[in-house]
Structure 1
């Protein structure tokens, strides 16, 4: 008859081992899950990071604008210098050709001094006439030689200046490309962050609709504003006519703008030429200080310590400006950001 034995019970040590292994597996699973699905950033966290990136993008964009303006100036200067060098070289060649012809003529005459040839002449009248012409020819030859040396000196100087300008143009172009790369990188990073949010939250951050201080006060009718005088009247009207046009970095119209580009476009319509960057615009005209109470329509309001942003005062405590990537030309409270300086153009 078969003997039935009860199954052997696991020892307490084995229970401890199994329990510990299970706990370890749970912990590892939790860690893997944490790495696989990171916590979604909150809207406020994304906004803080995007705001910082867009501020840096605005700085890089203004640096690009400055470098492009300088590169354009250098390119024009280089073209002028190269044209001068070409014309100088042609003049130098012409002078040298003239002297070569004289030297060849003297060689054909056997190298005898023309004055000696005249002295041997048996015709006194011819001698006097030829002597006068010889003196004039000698003077002309000396003047030509002097002109040749002067032209060579000017040509060498122009070549050196052109080489210097072209070298600076190369450096400016490199700065331009670096700034452009920086802008694009900041924009890509901000887009990645914004892609984690809903469309509504994304638009709220870009358009500033969740920020009471910078919220657009809606499309402004110029007839509701205090009148501006002179060129400022045209500039204010032009800037307000652009309300709703998209922000685009490095753009100065006619359909897209960055902050300083809007100022350039508006004042150009009034016949006033402004420098391209907000930093340069912070030095034009008359300094009105930083108190918005002293501002008049048409004044440029420069913001932040690094002067990276600019808007145009339009009256009633408002400015019109091109805010940042993803936004449009609109108005805001003039004191919504720290004012660096106010300039009357």
Structure 2
């Protein structure tokens, strides 16, 4: 009797891979609904889990950008507070010197000012010498008045500096409270997403991951310069930023990270343009205003492309409808089409 051998299946790629992954998730959902497989509480289907996880990741990214903004503000306030304290210390030193000078003048006046000037003139054996000394005393009095005025002004200035420092300290406390709140939100959203993913079987998780990467054929592309056939950068700086982004392909997404081993979405675009000598602000919602706003039809390699209504995600456009971006936790820096997410706007940096 002839043996019947099962034909080998070729690995699926592109749309076939997406279709297979979708069918796998749908099949798992159907199996979960069969009698005997239900738990006491209704279970989410893998497709529902994917939708919830994607939403949680998006919420986490919104909180991440808010965290990045609060962190940047805290750094600015800390620097300002340090400058105010340094200036207050310098002025206090000058105030102490002025007080010492004033004290010397006061002591000299005390030693010579106890006798009425008319009596001093009557007792003086040399009236001309006395008059000369009296004139000097007047000059000393003027100097003393000037020192008193200087001390008063310095005391007022130092009090103002200390009041400003106190305001900055309160602002720093507020920024730190924001940081703590946004950090807690990010961690909570990511933990909830992981709990949902942990409910998937290995096969379902593989299907989920495949759906997440199916749009990115170049997710594991060569980490080098752009390949032939891609749209040319309009200038040397844009080319440098794109080269940097290609070099970051495959590195992990880590929220709040700015490199060099990991990045979040705005950390990657900031680092890419920094390599080209251009300083960008830290967050998506400030980067969108860091250059010339352009329409989608005007896009050129090196432009920043933004997504979602709250401008919570950014990528670096590389031409031909593609971008390099840091997607989310668990998904490394990759190439993806810009129509993968809801387009919110674009900015030309240089």
Question: TM-score, normalized by length of structure 1?
Answer: 0.83
Per-residue deviation, 1:164:
0.5
Alignment of 1:50-69 (within 5 A): 50-69=53-72
Pick the aligned partner of 2:236 from 214, 226, 230.
230
Q: Per-residue CA shift, 1:164-218, capped at 9, x if unaligned?
A: 1110110110010010011111111111110111345435535xx3158843434
Separation (CA, whole Å) in 2 of partners of 1:102 and 1:34: 96
Alignment of 1:96-175 (within 5 A): 96-109=99-112, 111-112=114-115, 117=120, 120-175=123-178
Change (3 A) 1:295 1:101: same
Deviates more, 1:39-48 or 1:235-244: 39-48
1:339 aligns with 2:340: no
Alignment of 1:21-32 (within 5 A): none
Q: Per-residue CA shift, 1:239-297, capped at 9, x if unaligned?
A: 111000000000010010000000111111122111111011111110102x2x31111
In structure 2, the partner of 1:281 is: 287
Report if the CA contact (8 A) 2:317-2:324 is conserved: yes
1:242 aligns with 2:248: yes
Report if the CA contact (8 A) 1:115-1:131 is conserved: no
Change (3 A) 1:137 1:79: same
Alignment of 1:63-82 (within 5 A): 63-82=66-85
Deviates more, 1:334-343 or 1:52-61: 334-343
1:263 aligns with 2:269: yes
Secondary structure of residue in 1 paired with 2:305: strand
Larger radius of gyration between Structure 1 and Structure 2: 1
Deviates more, 1:265-274 or 1:94-103: 94-103
Change (3 A) 1:308 1:94: same
Per-residue deviation, 1:61:
0.7
Q: Paired residues, what number?
A: 309
Report if the CA contact (8 A) 2:216-2:334 is conserved: no
Q: Per-residue CA shift, 1:134-161, capped at 9, x if unaligned?
A: 2332222121111111111111111111
Separation (CA, whole Å) in 1 of partners of 2:117 and 2:184: 72
Report if the CA contact (8 A) 1:267-1:274 is conserved: yes
In structure 1, the partner of 2:278 is: 272
Report if the CA contact (8 A) 1:213-1:333 is conserved: no
Per-residue deviation, 1:92:
1.6
Question: TM-score, normalized by length of structure 2?
Answer: 0.81
Report if the CA contact (8 A) 1:300-1:312 is conserved: yes
In structure 1, the partner of 2:23 is: none
Secondary structure of residue in 1 paired with 2:340: coil
Separation (CA, whole Å) in 1 of partners of 2:270 and 2:103: 56
Give the aligned CA root-mean-square deviation in angstroms. 2.3
Per-residue deviation, 1:223:
3.7
In structure 2, the partner of 1:182 is: 185
Secondary structure of residue in 1 paired with 2:76: helix
Report if the CA contact (8 A) 1:53-1:189 is conserved: yes
In structure 2, the partner of 1:311 is: 315
Q: Per-residue CA shift, 1:288-323, capped at 9, x if unaligned?
A: 02x2x3111111101111000000111121110000
Separation (CA, whole Å) in 2 of partners of 1:235 and 1:113: 83
Report if the CA contact (8 A) 1:118-1:130 is conserved: no
Separation (CA, whole Å) in 2 of partners of 1:45 and 1:198: 14
Change (3 A) 1:99 1:299: same
Secondary structure of residue in 2 paired with 1:210: helix
Change (3 A) 1:126 1:261: same
Separation (CA, whole Å) in 1 of partners of 2:167 and 2:271: 32
Separation (CA, whole Å) in 2 of partners of 1:314 and 1:70: 31
